[in-house]
Amino acid sequence: MSTDATTEAPQIRKGLAGVVVDTTKISKVNAETNSLLYRGYPVQELAAHCSFEEVAYLLWNSELPDADQLRDFTAAERGGRALDPVVKSVIDSLPVEAHPMDVCRTAASVIGARHRLAEDSSPEANLAKALELFAAFPAVVAYDQRRRRGQDLVEPRDDLGYAANFLWMSFGEEAAPEVVDAFNVSMILYAEHSFNASTFTARVITSTLSDLHSAVTGAIGALKGPLHGGANEAVMHTFEQIGIRTDESREEAAARARTWMEQALAEKKKVMGFGHRVYKHGDSRVPTMKAALDKMIEHYGRPEILGLYDGLETAMAEAKDIKPNLDYPAGPTYHLMGFDTDMFTPLFVASRITGWTAHIMEQLESNSLIRPLSEYNGPGQRALGR
């Protein structure tokens, strides 16, 4: 809250909209040019040419790894992939009805409580913790989906890259190269997005000098909400509500989706997967993710999914000129790959752990307790009368 010099009235920025709270060297979101840079590199170029492991290294170390650095980094990541038996037993103790985001949140907390460097917040210790979480989370997410399906844990394979191994642990079979590519692209696009709600949550927790795992656990809670990460699941629920009919043509599906959207907007509903607090002319990540979705639609031969996608997008554009955000193409992409809908936001977690932990380390480089003010508008002072 700042004050206006002439009236002394406080300027309240609900939702901190438009408020710049700090500087960051990690990523630059430019809403005017619809661009997103990670450490200076356009995210589209990283998605086209890099593995997710290279991007994680970049986010934490400011530069892309050279061949030796990548070899060491990859070896460390592969060495940390196995699911800790204690974490597995805690996951097993949770009901299969629990939301998978609650399982992620619990797993991050348990990993932290068991960490040998739990109270060490030095840059070296935090980098090690970040790498361990990054390496461990595919097992958490993959195993949680499998146990809900009545399936056993699949052990990791250290001859596969991060994306291929994640799919292997999820489905127990090797994914086709084009599916691995699309999954790798999604991980890169979800990795980092400046001071979004979950990242800011992580920075607030870090600013109290709490530990990295507490900050990540809190960030997972923030990401769960449908106005943030939960939207990728909500997109699929919309598709399911409209009805996914595999025998339908693209045009037929598009027509039904348009009708659904017109009705939803007439009822003043918010449709998940559309709109963004920062991007008002389109989300910079959507074209790259949509290209990955197109490849998956072709790979799996599912034109009706494209029909639903087009129908909703066109009707929303015509009625309100609101564009899709990253969750819109990501949801159906994960659906086509075979993930259960309520696992979509945990996939976002596995990726965003890289961005959150980069911000946690940056926050600690020049920390200041984050503690805003509020304008009190409750009852005036009154006597208790006792």
1 lies in the binding site for ligand ACO (CB under 6 A) = no
Of 100, 127, 114, 121, the closest CA to residue 233 belongs to: 100
> In the range 254-293, which residues lie near ligand ACO by CB under 6 A?
270-277
Which one is catalytic: 115, 276, 335, 359? Answer: 276
Cβ 304 to ligand ACO shortest distance, Å: 22
Using the minimum distance from each CB to ligand ACO, give the nearer residue, 65 or 311.
311
Nearer to ligand ACO, 156 or 230 (CB): 230
The one catalytic residue in 144, 327, 335, 359 is 327
Taking phi first (over 0 means left), then psi (-120 to 50 degrees means alpha), and beta for anything else, what does residue 94 get? beta
Structure-block tokens of residue 258: 């348009």
> For residues 97 and 140, what is the distance between their CA atoms, to the nearest angstrom?
16
Catalytic residue at 327?
yes
Interaction with ligand ACO in 223-252: which residues (CB under 6 A)? 227-229, 231
Assess whether 228 carries a catalytic annotation: yes
Beta carbons of 25 and 362 less than 8 angstroms apart: yes
Residue nearest to ligand ACO (CB): 275
Residues in binding contact with ligand ACO, number by CB under 6 A: 17
Contacts of 59 (CB under 8 A, 6+ apart): 26, 38, 39, 191, 192, 354, 355, 358
Nearest to 232 by CA among 285, 181, 294, 174: 285
Residue 127's Cβ-count burial label (10 Å; 0-12, 13-18, 19+) is: middle
Check if 281 is active-site. Answer: no
Taking the complex as a whole, how short is the minimal distance between the CB of residue 184 and ligand ACO, in angstroms? Answer: 18
Concatenate the DSSP letters of all residues of 161-221 into one string: -HHHHHHHHHHSSPPPHHHHHHHHHHHHHHS--SS-HHHHHHHHHHHTT--HHHHHHHHHH
Q: Which of 115, 228, 335, 359 is catalytic?
A: 228
In angstroms, how far is the first alpha carbon of the chain from the final one?
A: 36
The residue among 302 and 352 lying less far from ligand ACO, judged by its C-beta, is: 352
**Min CB(65)–ligand ACO separation in Å:** 27
Residues of span 322-381 touching ligand ACO by CB under 6 A? 322, 325-327
Tell me whether residue 175 or residue 236 sits nearer to ligand ACO (CB atom). Answer: 236
Rounded least distance, CB 272 to ligand ACO, Å: 5
Provide the annotated active-site residues.
228, 276, 327
Residues that bind ligand ACO (CB under 6 A): 227-229, 231, 270-277, 320, 322, 325-327
